[in-house]
Structure 1
Amino acid sequence: MTTHVPTPSRVALVTGATSGIGAETARRLHGDGFAVLLSGRCGERGEAVTRELGSDSACFVPADLTRDGEPDRILDQAIDRFGRVDVVVNNAAADHTGELLDVPDTEIRATFEINTFAAIAVLQAAGRAMRQSGGSIVNVTSRLATVGVPTMGVYSASKGAMKALTAAAAVELAPYNIRVNAVAPGMTRTSLFEAWLSSQKDPEAVARKVADAIPLGRPATPQDVAGAIAFLASPSAEYITGITLPVDGGYTAQ
Structure 2
Amino acid sequence: MSTAPVALVTGGTSGIGVVIAQQLVEAGHRVVVSGRSEQRGSAVAAELGDRARFVRTDLTATGAAADLISRTTETFGRLDVLVNNAAIDHTGELLEVGEAEIRTTFETNTFSAMNLLIAAARTMREQGDGGSIINITSRLASIGVPTMGIYSASKGAMLAFTKAAAIDLAPYNIRVNAVAPGMTRTPLYQEWLDGLPDPEAEARRVAEAIPLGRIAEPADVAAVVRFLASPEASYLTGASIPVEGGYLAK
**TM-score band, normalised by shorter chain:** over 0.9
Indicate the residue corresponding to 1:77 in structure 2.
Answer: 71
- The Cα offsets for residues 114-167 of structure 1, whole Å up to 9 and x where unpaired, read as 000001001011111101221000000000000110000000000000000000
Identity %: 61
Cα distance in 2 between the residues matched to 1:61 and 1:129 = 18
Q: Which amino acid aligns with 1:119?
A: A
1-side partners of 2:38 and 2:221: how far apart? 23
Alignment match, 2:194: 198
Q: Please, what is the CA RMSD of the aligned residues?
A: 0.7
Q: Which runs of 5+ in 2 are unaligned?
A: none
Contact 1:18 1:40 in 2 (8 A): yes
Give the letter for the 1:31 counterpart. E
1:39-58 → structure 2 map (5 Å cutoff): 39-54=34-49, 56-58=50-52
Which 10-residue stretch deviates more, 73-82 or 59-68?
73-82
CA separation in 1, counterparts of 2:61 and 2:3? 29
Contact 1:7–1:83 (Cα < 8 Å) also in 2: no
CA distance in 2, matches of 1:149, 1:169: 27
| Candidates 236, 247, 253, aligned match of 2:249 | 253
The equivalent of 1:87 in structure 2 is: 81
Unaligned runs of 5+ in 1: 1-5
Amino acid across the alignment from 2:146: P
1:3 aligned residue: none
Q: What is the match of residue 240 of structure 1?
A: 236
* Misfit runs of 4+, over 6 Å: none
Alignment of 1:103-114 (within 5 A): 103-114=97-108
Whole-Å Cα distance in 1 between the matches of residues 37 and 119 of structure 2? 22
1:98 equivalent among 84, 87, 92: 92
Equivalent runs, 1:1-254 vs 2, <5 Å = 6-54=1-49, 56-131=50-125, 132-254=128-250
CA distance in structure 1 between the aligned counterparts of 2:72 and 2:55, rounded to whole angstroms: 9
Q: Secondary structure at the match of 1:240?
A: coil
- How far the C-alpha of 1:8 sits from its partner, in A, is 3.4
Partner Cα separation in structure 1 for residue 179 and residue 149 of structure 2? 19
TM-score, structure 2 as length reference: 0.98
Question: For 1:136, what is the secondary structure of its paired residue?
Answer: strand
| TM-score under structure 1 length normalisation | 0.96
* Offset, 1:7: 3.0
Alpha-carbon distance, 1:229 to partner: 0.5
Aligned residue-pair number: 248
SS in 2 for 1:30: helix
